[in-house]
Amino acid sequence: MKRFENKVVVVTGAGIGIGYEIARKFAREGAIVALNDLDKSLTQKAVESITQEGGKCIGIAGDVSNVGFIQELVRQVNKEYGKIDIVIPNAGITLFDNFLNYTEEKLSKVIQLNIIGSFFLLQAASKVMIENKTKGKLIIMSSVTGHQAHKDLAAYGLTKAALEMLARSLVIELSPYGININGIAPGATTTERTSSDKNYNATWSKITPLGKPATTTDIANVALFLASGEADHITGQTIIVDGGWTAISPGPETVN
């Protein structure tokens, strides 16, 4: 029996990158994965490659910053499989700019997906879990920028810190139903997006204590752990996966 045999998992923003690897690993461990991405062709490609590896995966393309779409996604998955066990609102956007230039339009976009999208997916999924009496697992996707100041990421960082507080806050309402909510805060992670910057690996290898950025596997492994029975007594927590980056501050040697 595989670790997640017949568990129904929803992962958003999973056409590529961290979300894709999470979806792939759950499918390899026997789960039925509902994979979402904004981009239809990426959704289709991701579903095809997971299916080719022998996984059970359906694609539901659409915008998870749209609350109506989120509710429809949850309704559809619950109708198809009769339950939802694990939900990972992974989709998130980063819009870099300095604080003094940041526009209302940019801030609204980042908040709409990262906070409002995650919040209402967690809400819709929790209602279904409670209705079905499923002791489910929810995992928010934070970032080290929710912990440490990072140039041009004030808006993004505030959304990630907010998600971690949301995970802590929901412990009050969800624990009586046996639903766990935790988070992952990845540091620099090599994905299709980040590797479009040619200096990414070299730069982060220099400034990460463990000597390299994370892989999507490093992050996905933590998602599977938090969703497993091994993490049954962990709730309200966020695990930082950053090779030690947030543990240190610049030392005198960096200026000498």
Name the site residues for ligand NAD (rule: CB under 6 A).
12-13, 15-19, 36-39, 42, 63-65, 90-94, 113, 141, 143, 186, 188-189, 191, 193-194
Q: How far apart are CA 61 and CA 37, in angstroms?
A: 5
- 8 Å CB contact between 156 and 186: no
Active site residue 177: no
Whether the CA torsion 241, 150, 90, 175 is positive or negative: it is positive
The SS3 of residue 238 is strand
Minimum CB separation of residue 23 from ligand NAD in Å reads 11
Residues 113-142: b if buried by 16+ CB within 10 A, e if exposed: bbbbbbbbbbebbbebbbeeebebbbbbbb
Nearest CB to ligand NAD, comparing residues 69 and 134? 69
Nearest CB to ligand NAD, comparing residues 13 and 59? 13
Minimum CB separation of residue 161 from ligand NAD in Å reads 12
Minimum CB separation of residue 157 from ligand NAD in Å reads 10
Name, in order, each residue with C-beta under 8 angstroms of 227's C-beta and a sequence gap of 6 or more. Answer: 4, 7, 9, 26, 86, 137, 139
Nearest CB to ligand NAD, comparing residues 148 and 194? 194
Nearest CB to ligand NAD, comparing residues 180 and 191? 191
- Catalytic site residue from 20, 81, 156, 177: 156
Minimum CB separation of residue 94 from ligand NAD in Å reads 6
Minimum CB separation of residue 177 from ligand NAD in Å reads 25
- 8 Å CB contact between 47 and 35: yes
Quick count: other Cβ atoms within 10 Å of Cβ 236? 18
Nearest CB to ligand NAD, comparing residues 70 and 231? 70
Q: H-helix or E-strand containing 9?
A: strand 8-11
Q: Which residues are catalytic?
A: 156
